[in-house]
Structures are given as structure tokens and as C-alpha cells.
Amino acid sequence: MTAGNTPLLSVRHLSTQVATPAGPRLVVEDLSFDLNPGETLCIAGESGSGKSMTSLSIMGLLPQPMARVAGGQVLLEGRDLLALPERQMRRVRGGEIAMIFQEPMTSLNPVMSVGRQIKEAIRAHRRVDGGEARRLALEALEAVRIAEPERRLTQYPHELSGGMRQRVMIAMALACRPKVLIADEPTTALDVTIQAQILELMRDLQRQFGTALVLITHDMGVVAEVADRVIVMHQGRMVESGLVMPLFEAPQHDYTRRLLDAVPKLGQMAGRDAPLRATAAPAAASGDAAIEVRDLTVRFDIAGGLLQRTVKRVHAVEKLSFTVAPGETLALVGESGCGKSTTGKALMGLVGWQGSIRIDGVEAAGLDATALKPLRRNIQMVFQDPYASLDPRMTVGELVAEPLVIHGLAKGAELIDRVEWLFRRVGLAPELRHRHPHEFSGGQRQRICIARALSLSPKAIVADESVSALDVSVQAQVLDLLHELQADLGLAYLFISHDMAVVEQISHRVAVMYLGQIVETGTRRQIFEDPRHPYTRTLMQAVPIADPRRRRDHFQRLSGEVPSPVRPVGYQPVHVDLADVGGGHLVAREAA
């Protein structure tokens, strides 16, 4: 994909340092690479490897004075961007080199319409009037294939889905036809089907406009799908670089080999009945279910009018039924908004619900707060973001001990002994209990959350995207821990996730959700090796595979508008299905 012999972007001996209480520390050290016109270069590595600091250094967006470039050059067509005054750099930034950030909701202005933000970016770099800027903004939204682009111009970021917001960010970045586009983890927060669409879109736009792309990611499946060349970073240094195929087939550095070995690969479980890390079959599968759900329904009221009466309802979960046996993992999978997390919150009593929920044989419907308290001891939850789950003002020992204190199960020396046992059980040194959450890594914080969930000796744990925010090597360690705890304690897991490769490794059974309903359920082997529902097949086909030889040019995707879960009061829901209309396209519809 390269054109000519002259690099478009050259980074030479780049070093970036940040201020710490112990003095300046290099977070990017002596990094050099070239980027050719039309080329896709992936910078891969785990959190803290220096990937994002590299992109911020190139763009001149380092948070000063905390961080600064300590040395090196960033040459765009021979011009050193690091030597430009800020006034000139503002003209380059967005006009010649643009960036897409990881989280579009924090990158977009919440009080400005989408159209106004794109027009503002255009008029900052091109001498056009308001009417022409609007035309170009509309053209940019059409280029990223967003549905109803005219209407999107008038909407605000909170009115759009995550996938739509990311498309807006891409449209804004490409509106001025930059020569270089830096995408910093642009698909990490997206579901696999939306991720597949964004990757396909970026490839199409790159071919159309000839833009050179620097893609920063820790997802080696994404690297395999799109990269021409790869740079692997570890602790601020480049440890390996090369063409994508040789690097995946014969990695030279130990870190690269470990990184690739830790990546869960869809299909590696073919022919196996048990999960990859399972050490025992589900215990007591024929006895009482640890979790039994019948006709679970969750709806949220939307008020309107002068009197603020309920005028509509969000039908988040509709008539959901499933069971989870002791020692079993049921994976609940689907895209954002399908009702997975709402189901988990209903089991925990965190949202109102209708139907039947039985935990270890005890019915939760109709119980007041006092009666629910002992029931809640038998089901605990591990959330996606461990840092947001832990009170930063408390020590982690106090956080793990808190459930025991609330339920009056231990105090004094007995409480300390129990907390220390829990720390050892999840692989942490007991003396770490005196520290605060900010002093731990993401993986360590998730272990602390698991210890807190185990403190009451529950029969079941709801794990809501509990490993999706972790790097692949840390993710593998946490999954090993969950399997070990299940084998030793007979825990039942409701494992909520959109990562199908992880689900394949950990689950005994899988339930696929779409718009609040389960559209397919079965054993892990049935779902992954013989999926029957078109939506399930779409999820499978969208998963990026960490093998460049299996790179795909096109993905099956949903077409048209997905039916809204917002319904008028009194609406009687019907089954939502997907019609395969051929050509790799699915259309959502409501079926009586």
C-alpha cells in the first residue's frame, strides 16, 4: 500500500518524559519509525507501553507541564512538527494530521450539535462560508455511512449510540482530508459488530482518500485485520517491528510471543465440550439451580407533558428465562443496549423488575429490603470498571471487609483473618490490604473486587464485562482465577460479555440476547460450532481473528434502522427477529 520511497511521516529518536514524585521518567524512549502514504501502521502493546503518549507527542497534545517531549523529531513531509510554534501547529493539527480518540463521548462537546462541531472543524482549516461548511459536514457524514445524515447534523452526542458517535469522530477527522490519521484505540469500547463496521469503514475511506493511518491498539485481532506493518511497544520502548505476516508467524521478541499467546482466538475450542480452563464439570447440575429466572421483564418509564406523566417506556428486558447450575458458567452475550447489564442489575435488585428470580431456591419477588438482605449474601457482582467500583477514600482491606461488617459476620481478629485469607485466595499479598485503590494496577483492582464479592461466600456471581477493560495477558490471569475459584467453591457464574472469543473459553452454556430477548441458547459447542440464528452468526463473523492469513475484506452487518426499545404506554411487545436479505446484510424486524 505504500506509494513512492519518501516517508510521509518520520519519527526520529522520540523520547517523552513525565514528572513523578521520584523525578522525571521516560514513558517513550528513543522511538523511530516511518509512515508511507496510504499505509496502515499499527502500534501495539499493553496499557503503560507508551502507545498513547506517542500519539499525543506527535500531535503536540501532551498535558503540559506534567509531560513533555525530551528529544527527537517528528517530520511531516520533512517539516519538524516539534519545532513549530503552537499557532502554526494548530493549522497542521486537524488539517494535515488528525486524530480519533478512544472515547468519543468525552471528545465531543455535549452542548453542541454534531453538525455544528463538524462545521467548526471545517471552518478552522478551510475558507468556506456557513452554507458550504454545512454541505461538507453532510458529505463527511455520508462518507462514514451514518444512517439519516441530515437528521444527525441537528442531534447532540448523547442522542447517538457509541458506534454512531465514533463515526462522527471519524467524519470530523476526515472532513479536511488530512494526510495522516492517528486512531487511538478507536474500537476498544465498541461491540464486535460495530467494531467490524468501523474497521471496514476506515479501510474503505483510506482507499478512497489515500490517507496514511497510524492505528494504536492492544487488540492483536484488530492488528491482524488491518495492519501493513506493526510496531510492538513494551515499557516505553519498541521491542519489535516488521511486516504484519512475518511478525505474527515468527515473532522474535519474548514479549511479542507472550502477547500473541495470551490473545483468545475464536475457534480454538473446536471439538471441546468443556471450557478451556475448566478443571471440573458443573457440580450438582441436576440439583437446585443457583440462579433461576422466569419471564424477567424490566421497563423504564419516560415522563412527558405538563404533568410529567409516563408517556413511553423503554422495554429493556422482555420475558427472559434461564437457569445457572452450581459450578456452571452461563454467558449472556450481545451488543450494547440489548439488556445484558440490565438483567444482571435486576438479579442484584438494583433495578425494578417483574417476573420470577430464585437465588439458591429462594424466590426474590415480593421481598422487602429486610428480607432481601440475607438473600443478597448468595449472589454478588463484579463490575466492568474496578476503579469505579471501589471507594478511593477507603483502603482495599476496608473495602473487602465492608460486606462482612454490614452483615455482622465477623469482627476484630476474625475479620482481619478473613480479609487476609481472601487476599491470598485471589493471589494478592495480605500486607497490600493497607493500600488504597489508586496504588494498584487494573488487574490487581479487579482481583480486589473479586475478593470483595467472595467475602460473603456467595453461591453465584454476576460478572458484568469483568475482563473487557483489561489487557490480554492480565485478562488471561483473571479468567484463570475465575475458573480456579469455580472449581474449588462450586460457584455459578452469569458471565456478561460482548467478547465472543473470551466467552468461548470460559462458558459452559451461552445465551444470545438481542433487543431485550434471548434469540438463541445452547451449549458452548452448539453456539460456537453450529449457530442457528442469523444474529448469532453475525456476532461470530464480526470477531477479529489474530491471524493475518484469515483477514476478511467484508463483514456481515445489520442494515436499516434497529427497532427502538422505546414504546408507548400500553404497547404489547412482540418477538424481534432478523431477516437475512442476502449479500451479507441482515435487517431487524418485529415478528408477530
Instruction: Report all structural domains of the chain as residue ranges with CATH numbers, in order of start.
Output: 273-378+458-532 (3.40.50.300), 390-457 (no CATH)
Mean pLDDT of the region 276-302: 73
CB atoms within 10 A of CB 80: 13
pLDDT bucket at 300, cuts 50 / 70 / 90: confident
Model pLDDT, residue 284: 44
Model pLDDT, residue 285: 44
Of these ranges, 145-159, 284-298, 502-516, the one predicted with the greatest mean pLDDT is 502-516
pLDDT bucket at 16, cuts 50 / 70 / 90: very high
Model pLDDT, residue 447: 92
Alpha carbons 19 and 66: distance in angstroms, whole number: 5
Single pTM value for the model: 0.78
Alpha carbons 492 and 508: distance in angstroms, whole number: 11
509-514 sheet: strands from edge to edge: 379-382, 460-464, 492-497, 329-333, 509-514, 517-523
- CA Rg value for the chain: 25
Mean pLDDT of the region 296-304: 87
Model pLDDT, residue 281: 47
CB atoms within 10 A of CB 135: 13
pLDDT bucket at 415, cuts 50 / 70 / 90: very high
Contacts of 112 (CB under 8 A, 6+ apart): 120, 156
For 75: left if phi > 0, alpha if psi spans -120 to 50, otherwise beta; the answer is: beta
Angle at the Cα of 252 from the Cα atoms of 247 and 258, rounded to 5 degrees = 85
Helix (H) or strand (E) holding 168: helix 162-174
Model pLDDT, residue 440: 86
**Residue in the block written with cell 476498544:** 188
Asked if 325 and 282 touch (Cβ cutoff 8 Å), the reply is yes
Query: Residue 159 above 90 pLDDT?
Result: no
Please report, for residues 48, 413, 460, 476, 481, the alpha-carbon distance to residue 443 in angstroms, rounded to integers and kept in the order given: 13, 28, 21, 10, 11
Model pLDDT, residue 276: 61
Instruction: Note the pLDDT tens digit of each residue in 574-587.
Output: 555 555 544 445 55
Beta strands in 369-488 (DSSP E): 379-382, 460-464
Query: Residue 88 above 70 pLDDT?
Result: yes
- Burial (0-12, 13-18, 19+ Cβ within 10 Å), 297: middle
Strands 97-100, 180-184: parallel, antiparallel or unpaired by DSSP? Answer: parallel
Mean pLDDT of the region 160-175: 81
**Residue in the block written with cell 433461576:** 292
Contacts of 222 (CB under 8 A, 6+ apart): 42, 187, 195, 199, 215, 544
Mean pLDDT across the chain, nearest whole number? Answer: 85
User: Which carries the bigger pLDDT value, residue 429 or residue 583?
Assistant: 429
Mean pLDDT of the region 411-420: 94
Q: What is the signed CA dihedral for 485, 491, 495, 501, rounded to 10 degrees?
A: 50
CB atoms within 10 A of CB 419: 24
Mean pLDDT of the region 438-446: 86
Query: Residue 564 above 70 pLDDT?
Result: no
Instruction: Note the pLDDT tens digit of each residue in 28-50.
Output: 999 999 999 999 999 998 888 89
Contacts of 208 (CB under 8 A, 6+ apart): 143
Least confident of 98-112, 161-175, 521-535, 562-576: 562-576
- Burial (0-12, 13-18, 19+ Cβ within 10 Å), 334: buried
Q: Which three cell numbers stand for residue 551?
A: 483477514
pLDDT over 70, % of the chain:
89
Alpha carbons 263 and 248: distance in angstroms, whole number: 12
Model pLDDT, residue 581: 45
Model pLDDT, residue 3: 44
User: Which carries the bigger pLDDT value, residue 68 or residue 586?
Assistant: 68
Alpha carbons 466 and 382: distance in angstroms, whole number: 6
Alpha carbons 500 and 540: distance in angstroms, whole number: 7
Helix (H) or strand (E) holding 317: strand 309-324
Q: Which three cell numbers stand for residue 435?
A: 493500600
Return phi, psi of residue 330, to 5°: -105, 120
Alpha carbons 541 and 536: distance in angstroms, whole number: 9
Instruction: Note the pLDDT tens digit of each residue in 223-252.
Output: 998 999 999 999 999 999 999 999 999 999
Written as one letter, the residue type at 275 is: P
pLDDT bucket at 573, cuts 50 / 70 / 90: low
Query: Residue 400 above 90 pLDDT?
Result: yes
Model pLDDT, residue 589: 55
Model pLDDT, residue 430: 95
- Burial (0-12, 13-18, 19+ Cβ within 10 Å), 580: middle
